[in-house]
Structure 1
Amino acid sequence: MVYSVKNIFNTRIESMYDSRSRKYVGFDQYGVRNAEHYNSLDWKSLVREFEKETLCRHRAQLFRRSTLERKRVAVRLVHQQIADCEYGEDFTDMVYYVKNIFNRKYDSVYDSRIGKYVGYDEYGVKNADHYNNQDWKMLLRKAEVDTLCRYNARQYRISTIDRKVPPTVKVRQTKHADYGERTMFECSVWSFYPQAINVSWLIDGVETVTDVSSTDVLPNEDWTFQLHSYLELILKRGERLTCRVEHSSLVKSLEVDFDTFSLDAKYIKLSVGSIFFCIGFTAAVGGAVYYWWKRRSGFSPVDGREQTSTSLSDL
Protein backbone atom coordinates (compact mmCIF):
# COMPACT_ATOMS: atom_id res chain seq x y z
CA MET A 1 0.00 0.00 0.00
CA VAL A 2 0.98 3.60 -0.54
CA TYR A 3 0.23 6.33 2.00
CA SER A 4 0.31 9.92 0.77
CA VAL A 5 -0.38 13.22 2.51
CA LYS A 6 -1.20 16.05 0.12
CA ASN A 7 -0.98 19.69 1.19
CA ILE A 8 -3.29 21.72 -1.05
CA PHE A 9 -3.28 25.53 -1.06
CA ASN A 10 -6.00 27.37 -3.01
CA THR A 11 -6.90 24.21 -4.99
CA ARG A 12 -3.24 23.56 -5.94
CA ILE A 13 -1.05 20.79 -4.53
CA GLU A 14 1.94 22.57 -2.99
CA SER A 15 3.65 19.59 -1.31
CA MET A 16 3.02 15.86 -0.78
CA TYR A 17 4.33 13.11 1.47
CA ASP A 18 4.89 9.73 -0.21
CA SER A 19 5.40 6.66 1.97
CA ARG A 20 7.54 5.03 -0.73
CA SER A 21 10.23 7.72 -0.50
CA ARG A 22 9.36 8.59 3.13
CA LYS A 23 9.67 12.30 2.50
CA TYR A 24 7.80 15.35 1.26
CA VAL A 25 8.14 16.68 -2.28
CA GLY A 26 7.33 20.29 -3.24
CA PHE A 27 5.53 21.24 -6.46
CA ASP A 28 6.18 25.00 -6.54
CA GLN A 29 8.53 27.51 -4.93
CA TYR A 30 6.37 27.80 -1.84
CA GLY A 31 5.84 24.03 -1.67
CA VAL A 32 9.56 23.23 -2.01
CA ARG A 33 10.28 25.49 0.96
CA ASN A 34 7.61 23.77 3.06
CA ALA A 35 8.75 20.29 1.96
CA GLU A 36 12.30 21.05 3.11
CA HIS A 37 10.94 22.26 6.43
CA TYR A 38 8.76 19.17 6.93
CA ASN A 39 11.61 16.80 5.97
CA SER A 40 13.83 18.43 8.59
CA LEU A 41 11.32 17.55 11.34
CA ASP A 42 12.11 14.02 12.50
CA TRP A 43 8.91 13.76 14.53
CA LYS A 44 6.79 14.48 11.46
CA SER A 45 8.33 11.56 9.53
CA LEU A 46 7.66 9.28 12.50
CA VAL A 47 4.06 10.47 12.66
CA ARG A 48 3.57 9.81 8.95
CA GLU A 49 4.91 6.26 9.30
CA PHE A 50 2.75 5.70 12.35
CA GLU A 51 -0.28 6.99 10.46
CA LYS A 52 0.42 4.54 7.67
CA GLU A 53 0.04 1.69 10.14
CA THR A 54 -2.85 3.10 12.17
CA LEU A 55 -4.81 4.52 9.26
CA CYS A 56 -4.05 2.39 6.23
CA ARG A 57 -3.26 -1.09 7.55
CA HIS A 58 -5.61 -0.98 10.53
CA ARG A 59 -8.50 0.32 8.46
CA ALA A 60 -7.84 -2.17 5.67
CA GLN A 61 -7.92 -5.03 8.19
CA LEU A 62 -11.19 -3.83 9.69
CA PHE A 63 -12.73 -3.38 6.29
CA ARG A 64 -11.67 -6.85 5.14
CA ARG A 65 -13.20 -8.48 8.20
CA SER A 66 -16.49 -6.64 7.81
CA THR A 67 -16.85 -6.80 4.02
CA LEU A 68 -14.40 -8.59 1.77
CA GLU A 69 -13.88 -11.76 3.80
CA ARG A 70 -17.61 -12.02 4.34
CA LYS A 71 -18.71 -11.27 0.78
CA ARG A 72 -15.69 -12.82 -1.00
CA VAL A 73 -15.37 -9.95 -3.46
CA ALA A 74 -12.34 -8.17 -4.87
CA VAL A 75 -12.43 -4.37 -5.04
CA ARG A 76 -9.94 -1.53 -5.06
CA LEU A 77 -9.84 0.47 -1.82
CA VAL A 78 -8.86 4.13 -1.63
CA HIS A 79 -8.52 5.93 1.68
CA GLN A 80 -7.73 9.64 1.72
CA GLN A 81 -6.91 11.97 4.57
CA ILE A 82 -7.11 15.68 3.79
CA ALA A 83 -5.77 18.30 6.21
CA ASP A 84 -7.63 21.51 5.44
CA CYS A 85 -6.86 24.97 6.88
CA GLU A 86 -9.56 27.54 6.17
CA TYR A 87 -8.76 31.19 6.91
CA GLY A 88 -10.66 34.44 7.30
CA GLU A 89 -9.72 37.58 5.38
CA ASP A 90 -7.07 38.70 7.88
CA PHE A 91 -5.80 35.16 8.69
CA THR A 92 -6.58 35.57 12.40
CA ASP A 93 -9.66 33.35 12.23
CA MET A 94 -8.95 29.83 11.06
CA VAL A 95 -10.50 26.38 11.21
CA TYR A 96 -8.49 23.17 10.90
CA TYR A 97 -10.15 20.08 9.43
CA VAL A 98 -8.76 16.56 9.03
CA LYS A 99 -11.07 14.75 6.62
CA ASN A 100 -10.99 10.96 6.30
CA ILE A 101 -12.47 9.86 2.98
CA PHE A 102 -13.04 6.21 2.12
CA ASN A 103 -13.90 5.32 -1.48
CA ARG A 104 -14.98 8.91 -2.19
CA LYS A 105 -17.30 9.14 0.83
CA TYR A 106 -16.71 11.07 4.04
CA ASP A 107 -15.93 8.70 6.87
CA SER A 108 -15.03 11.05 9.72
CA VAL A 109 -13.81 14.64 10.12
CA TYR A 110 -11.78 16.36 12.84
CA ASP A 111 -13.00 19.92 13.52
CA SER A 112 -10.70 22.24 15.51
CA ARG A 113 -13.69 24.32 16.66
CA ILE A 114 -15.05 21.43 18.73
CA GLY A 115 -11.71 19.66 19.17
CA LYS A 116 -12.82 16.17 18.15
CA TYR A 117 -13.78 13.85 15.29
CA VAL A 118 -17.33 13.47 14.00
CA GLY A 119 -18.48 10.35 12.10
CA TYR A 120 -20.73 10.40 9.03
CA ASP A 121 -21.88 6.77 8.86
CA GLU A 122 -21.88 3.70 11.06
CA TYR A 123 -18.30 2.85 10.17
CA GLY A 124 -17.23 6.51 10.52
CA VAL A 125 -18.87 6.89 13.95
CA LYS A 126 -16.86 3.91 15.22
CA ASN A 127 -13.65 5.41 13.87
CA ALA A 128 -14.47 8.85 15.32
CA ASP A 129 -15.02 7.34 18.77
CA HIS A 130 -11.76 5.43 18.43
CA TYR A 131 -9.80 8.57 17.44
CA ASN A 132 -11.38 10.72 20.15
CA ASN A 133 -10.21 8.23 22.78
CA GLN A 134 -6.59 8.47 21.57
CA ASP A 135 -5.06 11.25 23.66
CA TRP A 136 -1.94 11.42 21.51
CA LYS A 137 -4.02 11.97 18.38
CA MET A 138 -6.00 14.79 19.98
CA LEU A 139 -2.76 16.47 21.11
CA LEU A 140 -1.31 16.03 17.63
CA ARG A 141 -4.33 17.63 15.96
CA LYS A 142 -4.16 20.62 18.32
CA ALA A 143 -0.42 20.99 17.62
CA GLU A 144 -1.03 20.86 13.86
CA VAL A 145 -3.18 23.99 14.13
CA ASP A 146 0.11 25.81 14.84
CA THR A 147 2.55 23.70 12.81
CA LEU A 148 0.36 23.56 9.70
CA CYS A 149 -2.22 26.33 9.70
CA ARG A 150 -0.59 29.20 11.54
CA TYR A 151 2.90 28.44 10.22
CA ASN A 152 1.71 28.32 6.60
CA ALA A 153 -0.35 31.46 7.14
CA ARG A 154 2.75 33.32 8.35
CA GLN A 155 4.82 32.07 5.39
CA TYR A 156 2.05 33.01 2.99
CA ARG A 157 1.77 36.54 4.41
CA ILE A 158 5.54 37.06 4.24
CA SER A 159 5.75 35.94 0.60
CA THR A 160 2.53 37.57 -0.63
CA ILE A 161 0.42 39.97 1.41
CA ASP A 162 3.16 41.53 3.58
CA ARG A 163 5.80 41.73 0.88
CA LYS A 164 6.76 45.06 -0.67
CA VAL A 165 7.88 45.42 -4.29
CA PRO A 166 9.15 48.85 -5.44
CA PRO A 167 7.77 50.23 -8.72
CA THR A 168 9.51 50.76 -12.04
CA VAL A 169 8.74 54.19 -13.56
CA LYS A 170 9.12 55.57 -17.09
CA VAL A 171 8.00 58.93 -18.54
CA ARG A 172 7.48 59.41 -22.28
CA GLN A 173 5.48 61.25 -24.93
CA THR A 174 2.57 59.31 -26.40
CA LYS A 175 3.41 60.90 -29.78
CA HIS A 176 6.28 63.13 -30.83
CA ALA A 177 5.78 66.90 -30.62
CA ASP A 178 8.17 69.85 -30.45
CA TYR A 179 8.33 72.58 -27.86
CA GLY A 180 5.30 74.84 -28.01
CA GLU A 181 2.99 72.09 -29.34
CA ARG A 182 0.25 70.48 -27.24
CA THR A 183 0.94 66.81 -26.59
CA MET A 184 0.25 64.00 -24.12
CA PHE A 185 2.81 62.70 -21.64
CA GLU A 186 2.54 59.27 -20.01
CA CYS A 187 3.98 58.13 -16.69
CA SER A 188 3.97 54.31 -16.58
CA VAL A 189 4.36 52.69 -13.15
CA TRP A 190 4.92 48.91 -13.23
CA SER A 191 5.40 45.91 -10.96
CA PHE A 192 4.62 47.35 -7.52
CA TYR A 193 3.04 45.77 -4.44
CA PRO A 194 0.94 46.46 -2.39
CA GLN A 195 -1.78 48.10 -4.44
CA ALA A 196 -1.96 51.52 -2.74
CA ILE A 197 0.06 54.13 -4.66
CA ASN A 198 0.06 57.87 -5.39
CA VAL A 199 1.25 59.33 -8.72
CA SER A 200 1.49 63.09 -9.40
CA TRP A 201 2.98 65.49 -11.97
CA LEU A 202 5.42 68.35 -11.29
CA ILE A 203 6.38 71.25 -13.57
CA ASP A 204 9.59 72.89 -12.39
CA GLY A 205 9.02 71.30 -8.98
CA VAL A 206 5.42 72.54 -8.60
CA GLU A 207 2.60 69.99 -8.60
CA THR A 208 -0.05 70.38 -11.30
CA VAL A 209 -3.50 68.79 -11.42
CA THR A 210 -4.75 70.43 -14.62
CA ASP A 211 -5.42 68.08 -17.55
CA VAL A 212 -4.28 65.05 -15.53
CA SER A 213 -5.92 61.63 -15.93
CA SER A 214 -4.97 58.06 -15.05
CA THR A 215 -6.04 54.45 -15.39
CA ASP A 216 -7.24 52.30 -12.52
CA VAL A 217 -4.66 50.22 -10.69
CA LEU A 218 -4.43 47.09 -12.85
CA PRO A 219 -3.32 43.63 -11.63
CA ASN A 220 -0.45 41.69 -13.21
CA GLU A 221 -0.11 37.92 -13.41
CA ASP A 222 2.71 37.90 -10.83
CA TRP A 223 0.56 39.47 -8.08
CA THR A 224 1.95 42.95 -8.70
CA PHE A 225 0.14 45.98 -10.10
CA GLN A 226 0.54 48.69 -12.74
CA LEU A 227 -0.84 52.19 -13.28
CA HIS A 228 -0.55 54.77 -16.07
CA SER A 229 -0.98 58.52 -15.51
CA TYR A 230 -1.38 61.07 -18.32
CA LEU A 231 -0.75 64.82 -18.57
CA GLU A 232 -1.77 66.99 -21.52
CA LEU A 233 0.61 69.92 -21.78
CA ILE A 234 2.32 72.48 -24.02
CA LEU A 235 5.91 72.01 -22.90
CA LYS A 236 8.16 75.04 -23.08
CA ARG A 237 11.85 74.84 -23.66
CA GLY A 238 13.75 74.81 -20.39
CA GLU A 239 10.81 73.49 -18.33
CA ARG A 240 11.39 70.45 -16.12
CA LEU A 241 8.58 67.87 -16.24
CA THR A 242 8.61 65.27 -13.44
CA CYS A 243 6.48 62.26 -12.50
CA ARG A 244 6.47 61.69 -8.73
CA VAL A 245 5.56 58.28 -7.28
CA GLU A 246 4.83 57.62 -3.60
CA HIS A 247 4.64 53.99 -2.44
CA SER A 248 5.08 52.09 0.83
CA SER A 249 8.05 50.16 -0.62
CA LEU A 250 10.01 53.41 -1.10
CA VAL A 251 11.92 55.19 1.67
CA LYS A 252 11.19 58.49 -0.09
CA SER A 253 9.16 59.48 -3.12
CA LEU A 254 10.58 58.49 -6.50
CA GLU A 255 10.86 61.35 -9.03
CA VAL A 256 11.56 60.62 -12.69
CA ASP A 257 12.10 63.48 -15.17
CA PHE A 258 11.00 63.49 -18.77
CA ASP A 259 14.12 63.21 -20.93
CA THR A 260 14.06 66.21 -23.28
CA PHE A 261 17.09 65.05 -25.27
CA SER A 262 14.94 64.05 -28.26
CA LEU A 263 13.43 67.55 -28.34
CA ASP A 264 16.72 69.34 -27.70
CA ALA A 265 18.52 67.24 -30.31
CA LYS A 266 16.63 68.99 -33.09
CA TYR A 267 17.74 72.40 -31.87
CA ILE A 268 21.26 71.13 -31.30
CA LYS A 269 21.37 69.91 -34.89
CA LEU A 270 20.06 73.25 -36.15
CA SER A 271 22.58 75.15 -34.03
CA VAL A 272 25.49 72.97 -35.13
CA GLY A 273 24.34 73.23 -38.75
CA SER A 274 24.07 77.01 -38.47
CA ILE A 275 27.55 77.23 -36.98
CA PHE A 276 29.07 75.14 -39.77
CA PHE A 277 27.14 77.13 -42.34
CA CYS A 278 28.47 80.39 -40.92
CA ILE A 279 31.99 78.98 -40.82
CA GLY A 280 31.68 77.75 -44.40
CA PHE A 281 30.15 80.99 -45.60
CA THR A 282 32.83 83.04 -43.83
CA ALA A 283 35.54 80.85 -45.32
CA ALA A 284 34.03 81.20 -48.80
CA VAL A 285 33.72 84.99 -48.53
CA GLY A 286 37.22 85.24 -47.11
CA GLY A 287 38.60 83.10 -49.92
CA ALA A 288 36.82 85.17 -52.56
CA VAL A 289 38.10 88.44 -51.08
CA TYR A 290 41.60 87.05 -50.84
CA TYR A 291 41.50 85.84 -54.45
CA TRP A 292 40.19 89.21 -55.66
CA TRP A 293 42.83 91.09 -53.69
CA LYS A 294 45.56 88.76 -54.96
CA ARG A 295 44.61 89.35 -58.58
CA ARG A 296 44.35 93.11 -58.13
CA SER A 297 47.64 93.55 -56.28
CA GLY A 298 49.62 91.06 -58.34
CA PHE A 299 48.80 92.04 -61.99
CA SER A 300 47.69 95.66 -62.44
CA PRO A 301 50.94 97.49 -61.40
CA VAL A 302 53.13 94.97 -63.20
CA ASP A 303 51.21 95.36 -66.49
CA GLY A 304 51.67 99.15 -66.38
CA ARG A 305 55.42 98.92 -65.83
CA GLU A 306 55.81 96.29 -68.58
CA GLN A 307 53.96 98.50 -71.11
CA THR A 308 56.24 101.52 -70.28
CA SER A 309 59.42 99.46 -70.69
CA THR A 310 58.24 98.14 -74.04
CA SER A 311 57.49 101.63 -75.36
CA LEU A 312 60.93 102.95 -74.39
CA SER A 313 62.74 100.07 -76.08
CA ASP A 314 60.86 100.63 -79.29
CA LEU A 315 62.13 104.21 -79.41
Structure 2
Amino acid sequence: MSTVGLHLLCLCLFISTTDAHYMYGFENCQFSSEDEHESMFFGYVYYNKQLIVSYNSTEGKFTSYTEKTKEIVNGLNKNQHLLNEMKHAHDECKQGVPDMVKILEESAQKPQVRVFSTKTATSHQPGIIICSAYNFYPKPITLTWLRNGEEVTSEVISTDEMSDGNWLYQKHSYLEYIPTPTDTIECMVEHASLPTPELYKWGRTVPKSRKNKIIVGTAGLLLGLAFTTIGVIYYKKHTKGHVLVPNY
Protein backbone atom coordinates (compact mmCIF):
# COMPACT_ATOMS: atom_id res chain seq x y z
CA MET A 1 0.00 0.00 0.00
CA SER A 2 1.31 3.45 -0.85
CA THR A 3 2.30 5.86 1.91
CA VAL A 4 -0.53 8.21 2.91
CA GLY A 5 -0.08 11.53 4.67
CA LEU A 6 -2.44 13.60 6.77
CA HIS A 7 -1.57 17.30 6.66
CA LEU A 8 -2.50 19.88 9.29
CA LEU A 9 -1.81 23.44 8.12
CA CYS A 10 -1.26 26.52 10.26
CA LEU A 11 -0.86 29.86 8.46
CA CYS A 12 0.57 32.95 10.13
CA LEU A 13 0.85 36.37 8.44
CA PHE A 14 3.20 39.09 9.62
CA ILE A 15 2.76 42.61 8.22
CA SER A 16 5.27 45.41 8.53
CA THR A 17 4.93 49.08 7.60
CA THR A 18 6.86 48.59 4.35
CA ASP A 19 5.64 45.27 2.99
CA ALA A 20 4.14 41.93 4.04
CA HIS A 21 6.05 38.93 5.33
CA TYR A 22 4.43 35.59 5.93
CA MET A 23 5.30 32.42 7.78
CA TYR A 24 3.42 29.15 7.65
CA GLY A 25 3.91 25.62 8.85
CA PHE A 26 2.24 22.26 8.64
CA GLU A 27 2.37 18.88 10.34
CA ASN A 28 2.49 15.69 8.30
CA CYS A 29 1.42 12.31 9.65
CA GLN A 30 2.52 9.57 7.24
CA PHE A 31 1.68 5.87 7.37
CA SER A 32 1.77 2.93 4.97
CA SER A 33 -0.44 0.37 6.76
CA GLU A 34 -2.50 -0.18 9.90
CA ASP A 35 0.72 -1.01 11.73
CA GLU A 36 1.34 2.03 13.94
CA HIS A 37 5.08 1.28 13.98
CA GLU A 38 5.23 2.24 10.29
CA SER A 39 3.94 5.76 10.98
CA MET A 40 6.09 8.90 10.94
CA PHE A 41 5.46 12.46 12.04
CA PHE A 42 6.98 15.59 10.45
CA GLY A 43 6.71 19.32 11.02
CA TYR A 44 7.76 22.07 8.60
CA VAL A 45 8.04 25.85 8.98
CA TYR A 46 8.40 28.17 5.96
CA TYR A 47 9.19 31.88 5.86
CA ASN A 48 8.50 33.72 2.59
CA LYS A 49 8.33 30.38 0.73
CA GLN A 50 11.68 29.19 2.13
CA LEU A 51 11.92 26.15 4.41
CA ILE A 52 13.67 27.29 7.57
CA VAL A 53 12.94 24.61 10.22
CA SER A 54 11.70 21.03 10.22
CA TYR A 55 10.96 18.29 12.76
CA ASN A 56 11.41 14.56 12.13
CA SER A 57 9.97 11.95 14.52
CA THR A 58 12.56 9.39 13.39
CA GLU A 59 15.36 11.65 14.61
CA GLY A 60 13.29 13.20 17.38
CA LYS A 61 14.68 16.70 16.87
CA PHE A 62 14.43 19.93 14.89
CA THR A 63 16.68 20.78 11.94
CA SER A 64 17.74 24.23 10.72
CA TYR A 65 18.02 25.15 7.03
CA THR A 66 19.36 28.70 7.32
CA GLU A 67 22.18 30.36 9.22
CA LYS A 68 19.75 32.69 10.99
CA THR A 69 17.68 29.81 12.43
CA LYS A 70 20.58 27.67 13.71
CA GLU A 71 20.59 29.35 17.12
CA ILE A 72 16.79 29.13 17.32
CA VAL A 73 16.83 25.41 16.48
CA ASN A 74 19.51 24.75 19.11
CA GLY A 75 17.14 26.30 21.65
CA LEU A 76 14.20 24.22 20.37
CA ASN A 77 16.17 20.99 20.72
CA LYS A 78 17.00 21.90 24.33
CA ASN A 79 13.35 22.60 25.13
CA GLN A 80 12.25 19.27 26.57
CA HIS A 81 8.65 20.41 26.98
CA LEU A 82 8.41 21.19 23.25
CA LEU A 83 10.06 17.89 22.30
CA ASN A 84 7.55 16.06 24.50
CA GLU A 85 4.74 17.92 22.73
CA MET A 86 6.04 16.77 19.34
CA LYS A 87 6.32 13.21 20.65
CA HIS A 88 2.74 13.46 21.90
CA ALA A 89 1.65 14.62 18.44
CA HIS A 90 3.34 11.56 16.95
CA ASP A 91 1.54 9.31 19.46
CA GLU A 92 -1.79 10.84 18.40
CA CYS A 93 -0.80 10.19 14.80
CA LYS A 94 -0.15 6.50 15.59
CA GLN A 95 -3.40 6.12 17.50
CA GLY A 96 -5.38 7.56 14.61
CA VAL A 97 -3.83 5.33 11.94
CA PRO A 98 -6.47 2.51 12.08
CA ASP A 99 -9.33 5.02 11.79
CA MET A 100 -7.63 6.86 8.95
CA VAL A 101 -6.98 3.57 7.09
CA LYS A 102 -10.65 2.64 7.46
CA ILE A 103 -11.79 6.03 6.11
CA LEU A 104 -9.40 5.77 3.17
CA GLU A 105 -10.50 2.21 2.35
CA GLU A 106 -14.16 3.26 2.36
CA SER A 107 -13.54 6.28 0.13
CA ALA A 108 -10.78 4.81 -2.07
CA GLN A 109 -11.43 4.61 -5.81
CA LYS A 110 -9.62 1.86 -7.71
CA PRO A 111 -7.62 3.13 -10.70
CA GLN A 112 -8.52 2.24 -14.25
CA VAL A 113 -5.28 1.19 -15.97
CA ARG A 114 -4.24 0.94 -19.64
CA VAL A 115 -0.89 -0.26 -20.98
CA PHE A 116 -0.35 0.50 -24.68
CA SER A 117 2.19 1.55 -27.31
CA THR A 118 2.34 4.94 -29.01
CA LYS A 119 5.48 4.34 -31.03
CA THR A 120 6.42 0.97 -32.53
CA ALA A 121 9.97 -0.17 -31.89
CA THR A 122 12.36 -1.18 -34.67
CA SER A 123 15.70 -2.98 -34.56
CA HIS A 124 17.45 0.40 -34.26
CA GLN A 125 14.87 2.73 -32.72
CA PRO A 126 13.13 2.20 -29.34
CA GLY A 127 9.38 2.29 -29.01
CA ILE A 128 7.34 4.04 -26.33
CA ILE A 129 5.02 2.12 -24.00
CA ILE A 130 2.64 4.01 -21.72
CA CYS A 131 1.07 2.92 -18.45
CA SER A 132 -1.88 5.20 -17.67
CA ALA A 133 -3.91 5.15 -14.45
CA TYR A 134 -7.20 7.07 -14.39
CA ASN A 135 -9.99 7.97 -11.95
CA PHE A 136 -8.32 6.94 -8.69
CA TYR A 137 -8.49 8.28 -5.14
CA PRO A 138 -6.64 9.04 -2.89
CA LYS A 139 -3.87 10.85 -4.71
CA PRO A 140 -0.71 8.79 -3.94
CA ILE A 141 -0.03 6.03 -6.47
CA THR A 142 3.06 4.18 -7.69
CA LEU A 143 3.58 2.92 -11.26
CA THR A 144 6.56 0.59 -11.72
CA TRP A 145 7.80 -1.03 -14.92
CA LEU A 146 8.85 -4.71 -14.83
CA ARG A 147 10.81 -6.55 -17.49
CA ASN A 148 10.63 -10.32 -17.03
CA GLY A 149 9.74 -9.69 -13.39
CA GLU A 150 12.67 -7.31 -12.74
CA GLU A 151 12.18 -3.58 -12.10
CA VAL A 152 13.19 -1.24 -14.93
CA THR A 153 14.71 2.03 -13.67
CA SER A 154 16.30 3.50 -16.80
CA GLU A 155 14.52 5.11 -19.77
CA VAL A 156 11.44 5.76 -17.61
CA ILE A 157 9.62 9.10 -17.31
CA SER A 158 6.57 9.56 -15.07
CA THR A 159 4.20 12.46 -14.58
CA ASP A 160 2.98 13.68 -11.21
CA GLU A 161 -0.51 12.80 -10.05
CA MET A 162 -2.82 15.20 -11.88
CA SER A 163 -6.23 16.27 -10.58
CA ASP A 164 -9.30 15.78 -12.76
CA GLY A 165 -11.13 18.42 -10.72
CA ASN A 166 -13.64 15.91 -9.29
CA TRP A 167 -11.56 14.50 -6.42
CA LEU A 168 -10.14 11.91 -8.79
CA TYR A 169 -6.61 11.78 -10.22
CA GLN A 170 -4.62 10.42 -13.13
CA LYS A 171 -0.96 9.55 -13.66
CA HIS A 172 1.11 8.34 -16.64
CA SER A 173 4.45 6.55 -16.92
CA TYR A 174 6.44 6.26 -20.18
CA LEU A 175 8.92 3.48 -20.97
CA GLU A 176 11.30 3.86 -23.92
CA TYR A 177 12.44 0.37 -24.81
CA ILE A 178 13.37 -2.08 -27.59
CA PRO A 179 11.68 -5.34 -26.54
CA THR A 180 12.90 -8.75 -27.65
CA PRO A 181 10.46 -11.50 -28.69
CA THR A 182 10.91 -13.27 -25.34
CA ASP A 183 10.50 -10.21 -23.09
CA THR A 184 7.46 -9.76 -20.85
CA ILE A 185 6.75 -6.11 -20.05
CA GLU A 186 4.39 -5.29 -17.17
CA CYS A 187 3.24 -2.21 -15.28
CA MET A 188 2.87 -2.74 -11.52
CA VAL A 189 0.31 -0.49 -9.81
CA GLU A 190 0.33 0.20 -6.06
CA HIS A 191 -2.53 2.19 -4.55
CA ALA A 192 -4.50 2.49 -1.32
CA SER A 193 -7.55 0.93 -3.02
CA LEU A 194 -5.60 -2.24 -3.83
CA PRO A 195 -4.87 -4.80 -1.07
CA THR A 196 -1.86 -6.00 -3.07
CA PRO A 197 -0.01 -4.56 -6.11
CA GLU A 198 -1.65 -5.37 -9.44
CA LEU A 199 0.21 -6.23 -12.65
CA TYR A 200 -0.91 -5.10 -16.11
CA LYS A 201 0.81 -6.84 -19.01
CA TRP A 202 1.71 -5.05 -22.21
CA GLY A 203 0.53 -7.07 -25.20
CA ARG A 204 2.17 -6.70 -28.60
CA THR A 205 -0.47 -5.81 -31.19
CA VAL A 206 -0.35 -6.23 -34.96
CA PRO A 207 -0.80 -2.92 -36.87
CA LYS A 208 -4.31 -2.48 -38.26
CA SER A 209 -3.23 -2.50 -41.92
CA ARG A 210 -1.26 -5.69 -41.39
CA LYS A 211 -4.24 -7.26 -39.60
CA ASN A 212 -6.44 -6.55 -42.63
CA LYS A 213 -3.93 -8.17 -44.96
CA ILE A 214 -3.73 -11.26 -42.76
CA ILE A 215 -7.54 -11.53 -42.58
CA VAL A 216 -7.94 -11.13 -46.36
CA GLY A 217 -5.15 -13.61 -47.05
CA THR A 218 -6.64 -16.21 -44.70
CA ALA A 219 -10.11 -15.76 -46.17
CA GLY A 220 -8.74 -16.20 -49.69
CA LEU A 221 -6.91 -19.38 -48.70
CA LEU A 222 -10.04 -20.89 -47.12
CA LEU A 223 -12.15 -19.93 -50.14
CA GLY A 224 -9.63 -21.53 -52.48
CA LEU A 225 -9.61 -24.76 -50.45
CA ALA A 226 -13.43 -24.82 -50.52
CA PHE A 227 -13.57 -24.54 -54.33
CA THR A 228 -10.83 -27.18 -54.70
CA THR A 229 -12.76 -29.61 -52.48
CA ILE A 230 -15.99 -29.05 -54.46
CA GLY A 231 -14.13 -29.62 -57.73
CA VAL A 232 -12.64 -32.91 -56.55
CA ILE A 233 -16.06 -34.21 -55.40
CA TYR A 234 -17.67 -33.20 -58.74
CA TYR A 235 -14.89 -34.82 -60.71
CA LYS A 236 -15.13 -38.13 -58.81
CA LYS A 237 -18.95 -38.26 -59.13
CA HIS A 238 -18.95 -37.75 -62.94
CA THR A 239 -16.03 -40.03 -63.78
CA LYS A 240 -17.17 -43.06 -61.77
CA GLY A 241 -17.31 -46.18 -64.01
CA HIS A 242 -15.44 -44.49 -66.89
CA VAL A 243 -11.91 -45.28 -68.02
CA LEU A 244 -9.84 -42.40 -69.20
CA VAL A 245 -7.79 -43.21 -72.31
CA PRO A 246 -4.80 -41.02 -73.09
CA ASN A 247 -5.12 -39.12 -76.34
CA TYR A 248 -1.95 -39.31 -78.42
Please confirm whether the aligned pair reaches a TM-score higher than 0.5, indicating the same fold: no
TM-score (norm 1): 0.35
Which is richer in strand? 2
Between structures 1 and 2, the one with greater helix share: 1
* Bigger Cα Rg: 1
Q: Which has the higher contact order (CA 8 A, sep 6+)?
A: 2
TM normalised by structure 2 equals: 0.43
